[in-house]
Structure 1
Amino acid sequence: MNLPDTYQNAVASGAFQHDPAQEAALYELERLRLALSQPRKRGWFRKAAPAPDGIYLWGGVGRGKSMLMDMFARSLGPSVRRVHFHGFMQEVHAGIARAKAQGAVDAIQPVAEEMASGIRCLAFDEMQITDITDAMLVGRLFEALFSAGIVIVATSNRHPDDLYKNGLNRQLFLPFIALLQQKMVVHELASPTDYRQDRMAGQGCYFTPNDAAARARMDQIWMDLAGGPGQAFALEVKSRRVMVPEFRNGIARMSFAQLCGAALGAADYLALVREAKVLMLDDIPLLGRANASEAKRFVTLIDAVYEAQIGFIASAAAMPEALYPSGTGSFEFERTASRLVEMQADGWGRG
């Protein structure tokens, strides 16, 4: 079934709300789906025919970019690989390290060959460049992938011209932007509606007590927002790796024990809120003298979430004002409790 028909069926069933901007983007994706569904043709002297142009789909948070990407990837099956861009770059760094250890003169080429093996399309979700090392690598890597005939589809919150904006030595990055615009159709998903906010507002975002019902609500919200099973995701923080066990479509999910029971600090939490658009935190316990260190980390975490203005959904042992009933830090926790209440309001998380 073609993508527009799949979309219309989903709208008719109530799974999606019809959005003209989404539908317009879908016709561009359908153009590419049809091209990739055809056998790869060979030209004269066995040279491969030119690959079709990819798609760079950009727009605001919650407009449905990842949902459309999921639909596109499902329609093509194993010929396309869908991956979060940050996770892809982690794979690239690991592959380069392996290639160098094996004595490769040009470590980019074997990494690109490995990435291109067995597929025709790479689908990147949430493409962004914030690191100087990535900025220097990505141009040569994409050149090698395009040369191998790989079609690239990407979603992003930014227009290509705004990638790595104000970054160090950005002038060295400009040829990569030109390459993207040469090899990919740039399409803005200009919907006025933030569907992620609508879905969050309709379901609540703080569930207590920690019981089976709260877990079921958290699981349902995960499926509504993330749209499928999460994957492990590694944050690179000052040469360390912080693992997020479930990450998909900009939604991160962790337990209180994983995020506040480990030896993490402000730098780790800041890295998390830079990557995640929504944080789902399971099983916040009552806080007090017995878990004072965890409570301090929780305060730091909530400060980071609050300042970043990302969505926050949690299950907890008690309402915010009753989470820290007594003990040395209970007075200081009042500000955190106030922030937790504020973050439950409709419209929160638009930053």
Structure 2
Amino acid sequence: MSVVHLADQAPVVSPDELIAGLVPPLRFAQARFETYRPDPAEPSQSRAKEALTAFADRIAAPPRKKWFGRAEPEAGAVYLDGGFGVGKTHLLASTWHRVPGPKAYGTFVEYTHLVGALGFATTVQRLSGHKLLAVDEFELDDPGDTMLMTRLLGELADAGVSLAATSNTLPDKLGEGRFAAEDFKREIQALSSRFDTLRVDGPDFRHAGLAAAPAPVSDADVQLRAGSTPGASLDDFDAVTATLGRLHPSRYGRLVDGVSAVHLRGVRPLTDQAVALRWVVLIDRLYDRTVPVVASGAPLDQLFSPEMIAGGYRKKYLRATSRLLALAREAG
């Protein structure tokens, strides 16, 4: 059975395809307010669901213009404040699904990559006619990107686009750094007055009962499993790393579209920050598409060094490690 080699691919994504690809990931394609199950012990979850439902309905059916004067204000902007694993992404995706198009849904990183691929002015032009822009995992660890996104959201809000956002609050251990509303409002500064904060409390359900990370398999097992899995990819880790360096991150999703499972030989700890951040993006795209990962070499929880995890991009690396281990567990 033939396998795909990611290292041999050179995907091209047009501007129209980039815009059309701003939709919730496969994991949340069916997310709706009706399928969100608030914890009875956490009343903030029910309040957030009700508030977001009303928010989405205002966007879907805005107040009609008065006979005299200007139209009623637009629906505005909301920020979901809560810890890791309390259902913020489900609620954000539900909001997106409830609002008619045109609309966009993406992570903070996907929007910064969109600006990198299209340019700032073109991005504003392509998104300014949207009813809603949903931003998952708004990142606060890169001042330059934060300023870029603040400017982008400000221009889109001025154009009448409603905004909804969450931030990445993945903790190193349960209970640490759970809420980020004040950090969010401080970093976006002038834009903060546009946002209403909705608190979503609760324990991290994803930490309950998780199996240990699977041990690496042998190179021979990686090759055998790839050869017996229809639609699988098989690559050396270093070859994929080199390919990521040649591609704009906006193409990483297309690189793994249609791949049923990724098989990597010779995983090793990363020592270069730029390389590590590229792998963070690829892992996010794999997670979005629920693509299992089978690997040999170093254990996957050692992909990012302790020094990197202790640094300024700590939350990125912790989130990526959590997702990579989940994909490895799904591979069985």
Which of the five TM-score ranges fits, normalised by the shorter chain? 0.5 to 0.7
Are residues 258 and 265 of structure 1, via their aligned partners in 2, closer, same or farther at CA, if it must alter by over 3 Å?
Answer: farther
Letter in 2 for 1:120: K
Q: Is the 8 A contact 2:266 2:295 kept in 1?
A: no
Give the SS at the match of 2:141: coil
Give the SS at the match of 1:78: coil
Post-superposition Cα deviations, 1:9-40, rounded to whole Å, max 9, x if no partner, equal 664xxxx7655332121111012022112156
Q: Is the 8 A contact 1:265 1:297 kept in 2?
A: no
Out of 283, 300, 303, which is 1:301 matched to?
303
2:108 and 2:266 map into 1 onto residues whose CA distance is 23
- Equivalent residue number for residue 150 of structure 1: 161
1:215 and 1:17 map into 2 onto residues whose CA distance is 39
**Deviation of residue 121 (structure 1)?**
0.9
**Deviation of residue 60 (structure 1)?**
1.2
Total equivalences in the alignment: 248
Letter in 1 for 2:114: E
- Equivalent residue number for residue 206 of structure 1: 214
- Equivalent residue number for residue 189 of structure 1: 200
- Equivalent residue number for residue 117 of structure 2: 94
Is the aligned partner of 1:313 residue 2:326? yes
Give the SS at the match of 1:50: coil
Post-superposition Cα deviations, 1:195-238, rounded to whole Å, max 9, x if no partner, equal 2223xx356653877659x989xxxxxxxxxxxxxxxxxxxx99
Letter in 2 for 1:128: E
Is the aligned partner of 1:124 residue 2:135? yes
Give the SS at the match of 1:187: strand
State, as a whole percentage, how many aligned pairs show the same letter: 19
Instruction: Give the TM-score normalised by structure 2.
Output: 0.58
1:59 and 1:111 map into 2 onto residues whose CA distance is 29
Out of 144, 147, 151, which is 1:140 matched to?
151
**Deviation of residue 144 (structure 1)?**
1.4
2:245 and 2:34 map into 1 onto residues whose CA distance is 46
Alignment of 1:271-350 (within 5 A): 272-273=279-280, 282-285=293-296, 295=297, 301=303, 303=305, 308-309=317-318, 310-311=321-322, 312-313=325-326, 315=328
Q: Which structure has the higher relative contact order (CA within 8 Å, separation 6+)? A: 2
2:282 and 2:140 map into 1 onto residues whose CA distance is 11
Q: Is the 8 A contact 1:84 1:124 kept in 2?
A: yes
Is the aligned partner of 1:269 residue 2:292? no
Alignment of 1:63-74 (within 5 A): 63-74=86-97
Q: Is the 8 A contact 1:33 1:72 kept in 2?
A: yes
1:42 and 1:258 map into 2 onto residues whose CA distance is 61
Post-superposition Cα deviations, 1:313-342, rounded to whole Å, max 9, x if no partner, equal 3549xx9xxxxxxxxxxxxxxxxxxxxxxx
2:265 and 2:74 map into 1 onto residues whose CA distance is 44
Are residues 85 and 34 of structure 1, via their aligned partners in 2, closer, same or farther at CA, if it must alter by over 3 Å?
Answer: same
Consecutive unaligned residues of structure 1, counting only runs of 5 or more, are 1-5, 97-106, 166-172, 217-236, 248-252, 286-294, 320-351
Letter in 2 for 1:301: L
Give the SS at the match of 1:126: strand
2:54 and 2:160 map into 1 onto residues whose CA distance is 17
Consecutive unaligned residues of structure 2, counting only runs of 5 or more, are 1-31, 170-178, 231-243, 311-316
1:10 and 1:141 map into 2 onto residues whose CA distance is 30
Q: Is the 8 A contact 2:57 2:98 kept in 1?
A: no
Instruction: Give the TM-score normalised by structure 1.
Output: 0.55
- Equivalent residue number for residue 44 of structure 2: 21
Letter in 2 for 1:196: R
1:72 and 1:123 map into 2 onto residues whose CA distance is 8
1:258 and 1:124 map into 2 onto residues whose CA distance is 34
2:89 and 2:147 map into 1 onto residues whose CA distance is 26
- Equivalent residue number for residue 255 of structure 1: 262
| Rg larger for | 1
Post-superposition Cα deviations, 1:291-350, rounded to whole Å, max 9, x if no partner, equal xxxx4797962646987554223549xx9xxxxxxxxxxxxxxxxxxxxxxxxxxxxxxx
Q: Is the 8 A contact 2:262 2:293 kept in 1?
A: yes
1:128 and 1:74 map into 2 onto residues whose CA distance is 23
2:107 and 2:137 map into 1 onto residues whose CA distance is 6
Give the SS at the match of 2:138: coil
- Equivalent residue number for residue 223 of structure 1: none
Let me know the Cα RMSD of the aligned residues.
4.6
**Deviation of residue 46 (structure 1)?**
8.3
2:265 and 2:88 map into 1 onto residues whose CA distance is 29
1:241 and 1:86 map into 2 onto residues whose CA distance is 12
Are residues 46 and 129 of structure 1, via their aligned partners in 2, closer, same or farther at CA, if it must alter by over 3 Å?
Answer: same
